Amino acid sequence: MKKIGTKLAFCFIVFLFGCKKQNNTTNPTDSSLSTFDQTSTATQARNPNLCPATNGAYLQDGLLCFSSLETLTATIQDIKVKHYSNTFPLSEYYPSECFENSFDGYISLRSYVQQLRNDWLNTEEANPETDPDNMFMPGIGFRTVLNSKGAVKAGNIIYFFMPDGSHFEIRDGSIGKYNTLVNCKDISSELENVVHCTTAGAEVDMKTGNSTPSLLSSLSCIGWQQKDKTSNYASNRRVKVKIWVWNYGPVGADVDSETENFKKTGSIWTKENATEINNGLSGQIVAGDCFLMGSIGPLMKTLHNKKTVGGHLNIYGGLVRKVESKKLTSSGRARTGNTWSSLLNVSIE
């Protein structure tokens, strides 16, 4: 019964993840999706200084395959650093798009979420409560290397990340087992060498249902937390400030903080360059429930004629038991012409 319950629980998680996507747009295997984000990079020359290195990765059955976990994490960092450099002239996602277009037919989670978000913006209300950007695993680098189903291969292991903060590891790298997991087909005898790594640090064998005891079993560590706040200004402008704190085991942990500017034309919202836009990040995590860290900031970045400003900080992964202090605050505002938005602050504590 325990074994069946574990597998049914997995299928339930995948079902929720899949339905969340399908309720918003077309099936992610549609050919239109694979070319969704290629138009913006086609209009500007490939800049090797801003295009993240592929580091020998290749595409197999829709999965990016990296030689090792270290190469994967280095690639994630490279994408983030280039993204937040904000030195590219046209597409704000140029580094990610340039990297993705190195793999013919590759559909990343980032491009998938971007499509969902564009569809959401093409509504008169664009209700902040239903912003697709808030519903999937965060991090521009992380989303870029994950395929639209949330999976990537490093070394001999396929990692399959879940929105609840847990992940699955297919430790023999079997594409067949990956497809079995994704499609929740007959899983009664096919999941040898597949484990579910829970948010409490335990490992559950997907074939036997046996769980490796964890010293952290009393905790429910959250794979990621997200807070955001939105405010309208200048009659047809909107500003959003958000902060993500995430910890996905094998690929480490991170803090992302951003301010975004939007404009409404007729009944359609679009991301729009602000005359001036800024974002600040400050706070501390000391012996947090899911990672260790010291103080942050205050850090502040201001840009002109940009849609988004933000930054990220790498933090030390590793689950710990003691919780002493945790508070991070993202602050930001935008200006169009001479009109400023209100200053927005969001905190995770």
Report which DSSP code applies to 133: G
| Higher pLDDT among residues 148 and 219, named by residue | 148
The per-residue pLDDT for range 241-286, each reduced to its tens digit, is 998 877 777 887 778 889 999 999 988 999 999 999 999 888 776 5
Q: Between β-strands 63-66 and 151-154, what pairing exists: parallel, antiparallel or unpaired?
A: parallel
Selection from 305, 308, 300 nearest residue 331 by Cα: 300
Task: Give me the amino acid identity at 169.
Answer: E
- Cα angle 168, 170, 171 (rounded to 5 degrees) comes to 125
Residues with Cβ < 8 Å from 40, sequence gap 6 or more? 90, 91, 93, 94, 97
- Do residues 105 and 122 make contact, with C-beta atoms less than 8 angstroms apart? no
Q: How confident is the model at residue 179 (pLDDT cuts 50, 70, 90)?
A: confident
For the chain, which residues make up each domain, given as ranges?
Answer: 2-122+139-212, 221-348
Is residue 30 within 8 Å of 105, Cβ to Cβ?
no
Give the pLDDT confidence of 20-59 residue by residue, as tens digits.
Answer: 444 444 344 333 333 333 334 444 455 667 899 999 999 9
Looking at mean pLDDT, say which of 77-91, 195-209, 237-251 comes out highest: 237-251
b/e sequence 232-244, b meaning 16+ C-beta within 10 Å: ebbeebbbbbbbb
| Residue linked to tokens 């995590």 | 285
> Is the pLDDT higher at 40 or at 115?
115
Which residue would you say has higher pLDDT here, 195 or 312?
195
Helix, strand, or coil (residue 112): helix
Q: Read off the pLDDT band of 293 (50, 70, 90).
A: low
Q: What local confidence, expressed as pLDDT, does residue 318 receive? A: 47
| Beta strand residue intervals within the chain, DSSP E | 58-60, 63-66, 151-154, 157-161, 167-170, 194-197, 203-205, 211-212, 224-233, 237-247, 253-265, 268-271, 276-286, 295-303, 308-315, 325-336, 339-340, 344-348
Average pLDDT in the chain: 78
Under 8 Å between Cβ of 80 and 86: no
Question: DSSP 3-state assignment of 345?
Answer: strand
Q: Is the pLDDT of residue 303 over 60?
A: yes
Span 7-21, pLDDT tens digits: 545 554 554 454 444
Selected from 2.60.40, 3.30.980, 1.10.246, 3.30.420, the CATH number assigned to the domain covering 221-348 reads 2.60.40
Provide the pLDDT for residue 97.
94
Write down the pLDDT at residue 124: 76
Query: Phi and psi (nearest 5°) for 170?
Result: -95, 100
* Structure tokens that stand for 346 in this block: 């969001």
Tokens 């639209």 sit on residue? 148
In this structure, are residues 98 and 51 in contact, taking their beta carbons and an 8 Å threshold?
A: yes
Please, which residues have CB within 8 angstroms of residue 218's CB and are 6 or more apart in sequence? 200
> Residue 326's pLDDT is what?
65
Handedness of CA 150, 47, 278, 117 (dihedral sign): negative
Report which of 30, 22, 20, 62 is spatially closest to residue 152, judged by C-alpha positions: 62
Q: Which of 25-29, 101-105, 294-298 has the lowest mean pLDDT?
A: 25-29
Q: What pLDDT shows up at residue 247?
A: 72
